[in-house]
């Protein structure tokens, strides 16, 4: 874990090294000042030497100024090191998340990843700054003060040892108990973020069903869980201050009582007693600082583990050592393919799939909910890897391709598509960032999106809100189809992507595909038989198996599932989940 996190310090190593150096120099300056104070009292005030007082006073001012300078520089470099470290952690996590396959993403909730990128990184940033500054300053200050105290008077300084042992034991108990609660807090943060995310993303559903009160209660419960955990932890940590004050005042009383006796016995000077009292505060405040550092480090340990999980997560799907960099054509072969989402799954989602699809064919895919239609096409772009068997595109196993090369030759349009904030042109150019405005317009004509774009005030420069909330479902689907066409792919997959489009527009889009991109292999997953009946072949899926393959007429004659769906739809009430009897 430490090695993984430490590798992200990178260009901030210099700042990370300079911070403790300046902290040590600051402590040295602070340690010298009590000795000078003792000298002023013993050799200046008591002897009436005003010249000595001026000289030593000037030295104290100079040393205090140096201490201030070193403290400021330590703070500056510490802030740069910790902020840079946090930046690198966020960047490294985000970049690694981009490499995840769907199976990797399935291990984490969205809210959990957001918490790791925000709250957890902030905790690590704060802890790292305290490690660089307080973890060096506090123990070094305590050691220097103890050495100086024992050098002045070993008998009186032994009081500090008793105080340190007592306070250290109490703080260890407090930290141990508080740690348990801090470790649980971040799990509660995930629940809190999940509540907010669900509510905001599904706000239309919440309002449509008048469930605002329910969502408020859910958020309140998640918020109260975080609150209660923090209260328990902070209630324990609150004991730090009274224990610290009790120990400090007890030390002052003990040293003053014993020191007064020694002064009377002429074995200790007044200046030395003043120095010992100053060192008392230094020692115990250093111990207090250490306790707070340990609390912060303890809090950050849970965050460090969560961040390390993401950084060490290796993508299940990676490029081979010598990848194929060119896709020859759009032919697709499924050779005895079995697939399950989890390696230890008892049953497969896809079972013994054997298909041979030629380049340029239009393939329809029909099936009920849960028949694994989308799972089948996800294997083509290698969003998941097959469990057994193989999928070949252009005559090459998809596992042998460079991932970017393969996916650049395959365009996928989903039922629930996403548009990004920006103009219509900005969204279209996700398909081809170098596409001209004329090429974008042509793609929109093929997808029948030009009809509504031309009616907009700014046409192709119209601003699209995040998620495409200012366009309808059908308009969003047509824009996404146009975006996919701009890639000029060898394979085009339409995963129920015309479900929000009227039948006439659907027919226009299919006609445009047949005329404009005849060499592109097209997979069309649809719920309407009318969308598929003109396909070269139609695949009927049933419970992860291929129930039948053929033309519309062949399946009507030979496949009971297809025939029942067709008859029910032409009768006006098609339901794909009502299967025919074979």
pTM of the complete model? 0.66
Rounded CA-CA distance 276/156 in Å is 8
3 state DSSP class of 322: coil
Q: Are 311 and 290 in contact (CB under 8 A)?
A: no
Half-sphere exposure of 480 (CA within 13 A, CB side): 29
Beta partners for residue 310, in sequence order: none
**pLDDT attached to residue 126:** 86
pLDDT of residue 69: 92
Q: Which helix H or strand E contains 77, and what residues bound it?
A: helix 50-99
Where do runs of H (alpha helix) occur along 120-202?
121-152, 154-201
State the Cα–Cα distance between residues 49 and 29, nearest whole angstrom: 24
Contacts of 529 (CB under 8 A, 6+ apart): 366, 552, 562, 565, 566, 569, 574
**For position 572, what pLDDT does the model report?**
52
The CATH 3.40.50.300 portion of the chain extends over 362-372+409-570
Torsion of CA 321, 325, 330, 332, to 10 degrees: -10
Q: Which has the closest alpha carbon to 376: 329, 412, 325, 421?
A: 412
pLDDT at 117 (0 to 100): 85
Q: Which 3 state secondary structure label does DSSP give 391?
A: strand
Rounded CA-CA distance 328/325 in Å is 10
Contact (Cβ atoms closer than 8 angstroms) between residue 162 and residue 242: no
Q: Which tens digits make up the pLDDT trace of 23-56?
A: 888 888 888 887 787 778 777 777 777 888 888 8
pLDDT at 580: 43
Residue 219 neighbours by CB under 8 Å, 6+ apart: 192, 195, 196, 199
Residues of the chain with CATH 1.20.1560.10: 2-312
Which listed CATH number (3.40.50.300, 3.40.640.10, 3.30.830.10, 3.40.190.10) goes with 362-372+409-570? 3.40.50.300
Q: Which residues pair with 335 in a beta bridge?
A: 390
- 316, two tokens: 């299940």
Here the tokens at position 337 are 């393919």
User: 3-state DSSP: the chain helix, strand, coil percent, rounded to 5?
Assistant: 65, 10, 25
Q: SS3 for 494?
A: strand
- Phi then psi for 423, rounded to 5 degrees? -75, 170
Question: Bridge-partner residues for 320, per DSSP?
Answer: none
Report the side by side order of strands in the sheet with 350-357: 350-357, 332-339, 388-393, 396-397
The gap from C-alpha 380 to its chain's centroid, in whole angstroms, comes to 28
Give the pLDDT confidence score for residue 574 in this predicted structure.
47
What's the pLDDT at 499?
Answer: 63
Q: What is the DSSP string of 80-116?
A: HHHHHHHHHHHHHHHHHHHH--HHHHTTS-HHHHHHI
Residues 162, 258: Cα–Cα separation, whole Å: 15
Q: For the chain, which ranges sit under pLDDT 50? A: 573-574, 576-582
Spatial CA neighbour of 147 closest among 138, 160, 137: 160
Give 2-312's CATH code, choosing from 1.10.10.10, 3.40.50.2300, 3.30.70.120, 1.20.1560.10.
1.20.1560.10
State how far the alpha carbon of 188 is from the alpha carbons of 98, 107, 112, 235, 309, in Å: 26, 18, 10, 18, 18
The Cα 480–Cα 477 span in angstroms is: 5
Length of the chain: 582
Token pair recorded at residue 499: 């479900």
């Amino acid at each position: 874990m430490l090695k993984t996190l430490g590798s992200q310090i990178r260009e901030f190593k210099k700042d990370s090294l300079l911070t403790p150096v300046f902290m040590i120099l600051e402590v040295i300056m602070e340690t010298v000042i009590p000795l000078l104070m003792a000298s002023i009292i013993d050799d200046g005030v008591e002897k009436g030497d005003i010249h000595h007082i001026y000289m030593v006073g000037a030295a104290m001012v100079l040393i205090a100024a140096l201490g201030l300078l070193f403290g400021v520089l330590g703070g500056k470099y510490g802030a740069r090191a910790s902020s840079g470290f946090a930046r690198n952690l966020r960047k490294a996590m985000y970049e690694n998340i981009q490499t995840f396959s769907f199976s990797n993403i399935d291990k984490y909730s969205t809210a959990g990843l957001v918490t790791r990128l925000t709250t957890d990184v902030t905790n690590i940033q704060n802890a790292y700054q305290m490690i660089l500054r307080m973890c060096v300053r506090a123990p070094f200050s305590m050691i220097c003060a103890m050495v100086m105290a024992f050098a002045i008077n070993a008998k009186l300084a032994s009081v500090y040892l008793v105080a340190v042992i007592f306070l250290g034991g109490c703080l260890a108990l407090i930290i141990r108990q508080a740690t348990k609660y801090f470790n649980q807090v971040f799990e509660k943060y995930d629940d809190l973020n999940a509540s907010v995310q669900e509510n905001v993303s599904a706000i239309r559903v919440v309002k449509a069903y008048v469930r605002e009160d329910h969502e408020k209660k859910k958020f309140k419960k998640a918020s109260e869980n975080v609150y209660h955990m923090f209260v328990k932890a902070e209630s324990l940590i609150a004991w730090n201050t009274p224990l610290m004050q009790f120990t400090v005042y007890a030390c002052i009383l003990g040293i003053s009582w014993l020191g007064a006796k020694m002064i009377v016995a002429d074995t200790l000077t007044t200046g030395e007693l003043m120095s010992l009292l100053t060192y008392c505060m230094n020692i115990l405040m250093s111990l207090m600082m250490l306790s707070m550092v340990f609390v912060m480090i303890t809090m950050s340990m849970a965050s460090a583990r969560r961040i390390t999980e993401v950084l060490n997560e290796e993508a299940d799907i990676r490029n081979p050592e010598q990848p194929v960099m060119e896709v020859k054509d759009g032919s697709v072969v499924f050779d005895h393919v079995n697939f399950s989402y989890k390696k230890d799954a008892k049953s497969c989602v896809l079972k013994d799939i054997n298909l041979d699809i030629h380049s340029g064919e239009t393939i329809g895919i029909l099936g009920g909910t849960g028949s694994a239609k989308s799972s089948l096409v996800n294997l083509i772009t290698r969003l998941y890897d097959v469990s057994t068997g193989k999928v070949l595109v252009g005559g090459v196993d998809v596992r042998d391709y460079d991932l970017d090369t393969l996916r650049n030759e395959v365009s996928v349009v989903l039922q629930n598509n996403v548009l990004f904030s920006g103009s219509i042109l900005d969204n279209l150019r996700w398909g081809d960032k170098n596409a001209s405005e004329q090429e974008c317009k042509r793609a929109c004509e093929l997808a029948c999106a030009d009809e509504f774009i031309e009616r907009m005030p700014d046409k192709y420069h119209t601003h699209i809100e995040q998620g495409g909330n200012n366009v309808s479902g059908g308009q969003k689907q047509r824009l996404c189809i146009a975006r996919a066409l701009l890639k000029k792919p060898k394979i085009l997959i339409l995963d129920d992507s015309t479900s929000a489009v009227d039948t006439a527009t659907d027919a226009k889009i299919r006609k445009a595909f047949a005329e404009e991109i005849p060499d592109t292999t097209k997979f069309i997953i649809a719920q309407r038989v009318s969308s598929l009946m003109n396909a070269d072949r139609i695949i009927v899926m049933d419970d992860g198996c291929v129930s039948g393959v053929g033309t519309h007429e062949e399946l009507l004659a030979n496949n009971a599932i297809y025939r029942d769906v067709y008859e029910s739809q032409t009768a006006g009430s098609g339901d794909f989940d009502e299967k025919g009897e074979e």
